[in-house]
Amino acid sequence: MTAPIPLAGSTASSISLYFAPNSSAFAPLVLLEEADAEYRAVAISLATGEQHGPAYRAINPQGRVPTLVVDGTPIPEVVGIVTWIAHRYPGAEILPADPVDRARAYALMSWIASTVHVALAQIRRPERYADDPSIRAALEAPGRAAFAAALADLEARSNATSSPYLIGDRFGAVDAYALVVRRWADGLGLDRTGFPSFADRTDALFERASVRRARNRETLTLSAAA
């Protein structure tokens, strides 16, 4: 990991996103690209436990990604980071202007964070919930069931709108977060025939210029850190 930005007393104007590959950090990575922001991407190796080391814990005491550091101040959690990006770059319109649609966007993102991400953690990171190996193993089946139910929900949402985007008529934060879920589904080896509309929708979104740039930034940052 490159040296962290000082958290207090910093006078430098800077934006850094601490991320890990295939994590929820891909959503803010996409949105920073969508906003044409100037920022530094810093890769954190979850596989080696770098998130629990003292350098990163000084930035995010919970040892989680993503964390956005703005002028030395850390902002954790996807919803918090999205909120900052939306206010800092209003021209990008990553959150709907309509109050009802904006509330729906926050509701959907909160659901992904509190339900879909938790289901994935039961499968991939059961150590968060139990020390006993047998309990950890027992968490996978309900986690997969909950993840499958979440995909069914997203499939229904996808079928319910004729717009290319989940909420409103333009690309936004919920679409970036939807790409995270799609990546998780692919990582779990789930058959796209179980969520064809959502799969087609996210396939199209992966071709968006900002998403392509985010994937390139992710790859280049990981290559540089290797």
Burial zone of 32 (CB within 10 Å; 0-12 exposed, 13-18 middle, 19+ buried): buried
- State whether CATH 3.30.300.30 applies to domain 15-92+210-225: no
Per-residue pLDDT of 51-78, as tens digits, reads 999 999 999 999 999 999 999 999 999 9
- 30 token code pair: 């996409």
Strands 15-19 and 40-43: parallel
pLDDT of residue 16: 97
- Residue 84: per-residue pLDDT: 97
Give the C-alpha distances (Å, rounded to integers) separating 7 from 10, 65, 75, 76: 7, 17, 11, 13
Contact by Cβ (8 Å): 66, 17 = yes
For 13-57, the pLDDT digits (tens) are 699 999 999 999 999 999 999 999 999 999 999 989 999 999 999
| Spatial CA neighbour of 5 closest among 78, 82, 73 | 73
Per-residue pLDDT of 181-200, as tens digits, reads: 999 999 999 999 999 999 99
1.10.1740.10, 3.30.420.40, 1.10.510.10, 1.20.1050.10: which CATH number matches 99-170+172-207? 1.20.1050.10
Supply angle C-alpha 66, 17, 189, rounded to 5.
45
Domain parsing of the chain, residue ranges:
15-92+210-225, 99-170+172-207
Q: What is the number of other CB atoms lying within 10 angstroms of the CB of residue 148?
A: 16
Are 1 and 60 spatial neighbours (Cβ–Cβ below 8 Å)?
no
Stated pTM of the model = 0.90
Amino acid 197: pLDDT: 97
CA neighbours within 13 Å on the CB side: how many for 192?
12
> Higher-confidence residue: 49 or 6?
49
pLDDT score recorded for residue 13 = 61
